[in-house]
Chain A
Amino acid sequence: MTAWRSLPTLGDSLLVDDTKTAVALLGAEDLDGLDERDARDDLAAYRRARRRARTRRLGTGVAGLIGLAVVWQIAATLLRDPVFLPSVTQTASTFLHYIDRPYPAQGSPLWYDALASLRRILIGFTIGVAAGVTLGSAMSSSRVVRHLIDPVIEVLRPLPPLAFIPLFIIWFGIGELPKDVLIVIGITPIMAVTSVAALDEVPEDLRLCARTLGASRLYTLLHVQLRSALPGILTGMRISMAGAWTSIVAAELIAATSGLGYLIQQAGDYLNTALVLSGIICVAVIALTLDACLRGLLLLADPGRRG
Chain B
Amino acid sequence: MAAPVKPVAAPVKTQGADVVIDSVGKTFRRGGRRTVALAGINLEVRAGELVCVLGPSGCGKSTLLRIVAGALDSDEGTVTVGGRPVHGPSPDRGMLFQTPMLFPWLTTRKNILFGPKAQRSAGLNERDDPELDAEADAILGTVGLAKFGDAFPHELSGGMRHRAAFARAIITRPSLLLMDEPFGALDAITRLRMHDFLLSMWDQYRTTIIFVTHDIEEAVLLGDRVAVMGGRPPGIQEVIDIPLDRPRHAVDADTEAFLTAKRRIRASLHP
Query: Does A141 belong to the interface (CB within 8 Å)?
Result: no
Identify which of A209, A220, A223, A303 contacts B152 (C-beta below 8 A): A303
B119 proximity list for chain A (CB < 8 A): 213-215
Check A214/B154 contact, CB under 8 A, given A32-B2, A33-B2. no
* Contact flag A210-B114 (CB < 8 Å), given A39-B147, A46-B155: yes
Name B5's contact: one of A36, A46, A215 (CB within 8 Å). Answer: A36
**CA gap between A34 and B94 in the complex, in Å:** 30
**Contact A26 to B122, CB < 8 A, known contacts A205-B99, A212-B90:** no
Q: Is the CB of B197 within 8 A of A219?
A: no
Q: Among B69, B105, B151, B197, which residue has its beta carbon within 8 angstroms of that of A208? A: B69
Q: Is B169 part of the binding interface, using a Cβ–Cβ cutoff of 8 Å?
A: yes
Interface size of B by Cβ–Cβ distance < 8 Å? 52
- Known contacts A26-B156, A215-B118; is-contact A43 B3 (Cβ 8 Å): no
**Contact yes or no, A34 B115, CB < 8 A:** no
> B252: shortest Cβ distance to chain A, in Å?
18
Q: Is B144 an interface residue (CB 8 A)?
A: yes
Q: Please tell me if the beta carbons of B146 and A29 are within 8 angstroms of each other in the complex.
A: no
Are the CB atoms of A213 and B144 closer together than 8 Å?
no
B199, chain A: closest CB distance, angstroms: 12
Residues of A263-307 contacting chain B, CB below 8 A:
301-304
Are the CB atoms of B99 and A227 closer together than 8 Å? Answer: no
> Is A79 engaged at the interface, CB distance under 8 Å to the other chain?
no
Partner of B91, one of A206, A213, A219: A213
**What are the residues of chain A within 8 A of B26 when measuring CB–CB?**
none
Query: Which of A30, A206, A213 contacts B115, CB < 8 Å?
Result: A213
Which residues of chain B are near A60, meaning CB under 8 Å?
Answer: none
A131 to chain B, nearest CB (A): 25
Asked if B118 and A210 sit within 8 Å, CB to CB, the answer is yes
Cβ contact within 8 Å between A224 and B103: yes
Residues of A within 8 A of B91 (CB): 212-214
For the complex, is A1 an interface residue (Cβ under 8 Å from B)? no
Q: How many Å from the CB of A191 to the closest CB on chain B?
A: 21
B89 x A208 contact (CB < 8 A): yes
Q: Does A10 contact B (CB under 8 A)?
A: no
- The verdict on A242 contacting chain B, using a C-beta distance below 8 Å, is no
In the complex, B150 has a CB within 8 A of chain A: yes
Residue of B nearest to A231 (CB): B105
Q: A29-B190, A203-B101, A209-B95 are in contact. Are A216 and B118 (CB under 8 A)?
A: yes
A34-B147, A212-B90, A212-B91 known; A223 and B118 CB under 8 Å?
Answer: yes
Q: How far is the CB of B147 from chain A (nearest CB, A)?
A: 4
CB distance from B162 to the nearest CB of A (A): 10
User: Which residues does chain B contribute within 8 Å of A47, judged by CB atoms?
Assistant: 155
Cα A23 to Cα B71 in complex, Å, equals 34
Minimum C-beta distance from B6 to chain A (A): 10
Evaluate contact between B121 and A36: CB separation under 8 angstroms: no
Q: Which residue in chain B gives the minimum CB-CB distance to A29?
A: B159
Q: Does A22 contact B (CB under 8 A)?
A: yes
Which B residues are CB-close (under 8 A) to A19? 154, 157
**Which of B3, B5, B124, B125 has the most chain A CB atoms inside 10 A of its CB?**
B5
A residues near B95, Cβ cutoff 8 Å: 208-209, 212
B52 within 8 A of A: no
Within 216-245 of A, Cβ neighbours of B (below 8 Å) are at 216, 219-220, 223-224, 227-228, 230
Contacts of A230 in B (CB 8 A): 105
CB of B34, distance to nearest CB on chain A (Å): 21
Contact A212 B190 (CB under 8 A): no
Query: Which residues of chain B are within 8 angstroms of A215 by Cβ–Cβ distance?
Result: 114-115, 118-119, 122
Q: Is A211 an interface residue (CB 8 A)?
A: yes
Contact of A33 among B1, B94, B158 (CB under 8 A): B1
A23 to B161, CA, bound (A): 11
Contacts of A206 in B (CB 8 A): 101, 103
Interface residues in A5-55 by Cβ distance below 8 A to B read 18-19, 22-23, 26, 29-36, 39-40, 43, 46-47
| Chain B residues in 8 Å Cβ range of A22 | 154-157
B143 contacts which chain A residues (CB < 8 A)? 31
Verify B193–A205 contact, CB threshold 8 A: no
Contact between B148 and A34, CB atoms less than 8 A apart: no
Chain B minimum-CB-distance residue to A25 = B155
Does residue B184 face the partner (Cβ distance < 8 Å to A)? no
Q: Is the CB of B172 within 8 A of A214?
A: yes
Does B97 count as interface, using CB distance less than 8 angstroms?
A: yes
Residue contact A213 to B148, C-beta cutoff 8 Å: no
CA distance A117 to B1 in the complex (A): 64
**Complex partner residue of B118 from A46, A203, A205, A214, CB under 8 angstroms:** A214
Contact B148 A26 (CB under 8 A): yes
B77: interface (CB < 8 Å): no
Given contacts A33-B2, A213-B119, 11 further A-B contacts (CB under 8 A): A22-B155, A23-B158, A30-B144, A36-B147, A211-B88, A212-B90, A212-B93, A213-B169, A219-B122, A223-B118, A230-B105
Between-chain CB contacts (< 8 Å), 15 pairs: A22-B155, A23-B158, A26-B157, A30-B144, A34-B147, A46-B155, A205-B101, A210-B114, A212-B90, A212-B169, A214-B90, A214-B125, A230-B105, A302-B105, A304-B104
